Structure 1
């Protein structure tokens, strides 16, 4: 049963990356061509809906099996709330990261089929990042965004960093895009995981 949970998390996270990042990469939404950070105002809602509807659909499919975390920050939040064992936390995170990489690989393969080819280093793969704000501001946005994601909503932060709030979702595209996406990846692990732990502890202490 445990392996079924890990498989469900891998499949769910892969689908999230494929469909969510695919909305930014393949949708031609008029925003920044290489990432979900800095997208135009008309692109924010379609991308947000793509991620939200994907999560909703996945929840029906894998929720009864694994709880549909599909996000290391969610898993670490559940762990810090005392509702997930350390062993399962490790298994969930490994499965989510592997699923995200596979999802990004499928998206890259689809994008490569475009007429004239596809330069992922230039056109990107829906990766997260920041450029017009300080690192401290980006960290704060991801920390607060993850905290709000676990308890409410975070749509306003999409134009700041792409509102990753999900280390696996950031990892998948970054593996293929490389360069700045990999250099900035640390923040999309550190801030969301810290935000997840904070939210989980507040639930554990019954402050939420």
Structure 2
């Protein structure tokens, strides 16, 4: 019996993982009021940990199936770094966007059943800049911080999943998850923290308004940051010898160590 994951298995893993990441992460932000003007510092801690712990848990659960990307930027960085076949990228991206949209839809429905929560005025935990930013960060500032933090995120991911790094299957997801938590601590007041186009698009689609008109920033900046990290990793730290040969031709026949 063939125990190797099929393309369908990997699609399901990416849809589920992205759904859980967005639902729990954005859900924590919305339920604690982290994006409200009167947000308490503990709300930021709760939200940051929710995102980080979700990545840790889901990467541990389904990383063996798809690599546990849950993020179009991670997929792009992995492909640029030679860790993933380019032919796999479109299906990964579609799976992740679907997962993010399903999570946004679920949150929108749940919040809509509340008599005390108005999505139009209280939002959907969407990312933003300018008036949509807690500190009023500019467009340029949003682009820089999102690209920079995504690049750092990808460098960490590529490093802890490098075959030369003696990190266990438990410690790698933990390092990645805690890095995402730290990223949230450093940027939630600025943009609400994206570093993940699927995380941004799901809530923005249902929030509409400024959230949807600004969502392009949270596609462009993370993808640019991921590409920079993917290109520069080998120059900075050397190419992972496990990927000295060309990446597999068949979609999804990549090592599951890419995240």
TM over 0.5: yes
Cα–Cα, structure 1 residues 40 and 27, in superposed 2: closer, same or farther, change >3 Å?
Answer: closer
Deviation at 1:42, TM superposition (A): 2.9
Secondary structure at the counterpart of residue 126 of structure 1: coil
Aligned partner of 1:74 in structure 2 is 74
Q: Deviations over 1:97-117 (max 9, x none)?
A: 011000111111121222x26
2:4 paired with 1:4: no
Deviation at 1:145, TM superposition (A): 1.1
Distance 2:62 2:211 in 1: 29
| Residue of 222, 230, 236 corresponding to 1:192 | 222
Aligned partner of 1:127 in structure 2 is 126
Aligned partner of 1:105 in structure 2 is 105
Deviation at 1:138, TM superposition (A): 0.7
Is the 8 Å Cα contact of residues 20 and 50 (structure 1) preserved in structure 2?
yes
Which has the higher Rg, Structure 1 or Structure 2?
2
* Number of aligned positions between the proteins: 202
2:219 paired with 1:204: no
Distance 2:117 2:47 in 1: 21
Which ranges in structure 1 are unaligned for 5 or more consecutive residues?
Answer: none
| Residue of 146, 158, 162 corresponding to 2:188 | 158
Distance 1:50 1:110 in 2: 18
2:46 paired with 1:16: no
Cα–Cα, structure 1 residues 55 and 121, in superposed 2: closer, same or farther, change >3 Å?
Answer: same
Q: TM-score, normalised by structure 1?
A: 0.91
Aligned partner of 1:141 in structure 2 is 145
Which ranges in structure 2 are unaligned for 5 or more consecutive residues?
Answer: 1-5, 131-135, 157-178, 239-259
Aligned partner of 2:62 in structure 1 is 62
Secondary structure at the counterpart of residue 54 of structure 1: helix
CA RMSD in angstroms, aligned pairs only: 1.8
